[in-house]
Amino acid sequence: MNLDNCVLYYRESCPFCQRVLRYMEKTNVTCEMKSTDDEANKNELIEIGGKGQVPCMIIDGDPLYESMDIIQFISSKL
């Protein structure tokens, strides 16, 4: 399933991001993904959400932080 209205900002080395990514893989959920290892993506996240914390899922323009909250959101869409 593709979450068309969502963008996930993540960092490869972040264990909380990996938790979300593993859950998405397990449930076959996809969305646009942007690594904050890229400075432009990090700056974009700060502009949208006010901070560079990852994981962050932007849902219809609104930021959702915390891996378990993101997983709960994804779960509610299944």
Q: What is the pTM of this model?
A: 0.95
What is the predicted pLDDT for the residue at 69? Answer: 99
Strand 56-59 and strand 2-10: the pairing is: antiparallel
What is the predicted pLDDT for the residue at 51? Answer: 97
pLDDT digits (tens, 9 = 90+) for 8-30: 999 999 999 999 999 999 999 99
As to burial, measured by CB atoms within 10 angstroms (0-12 exposed, 13-18 middle, 19+ buried), residue 22 is exposed
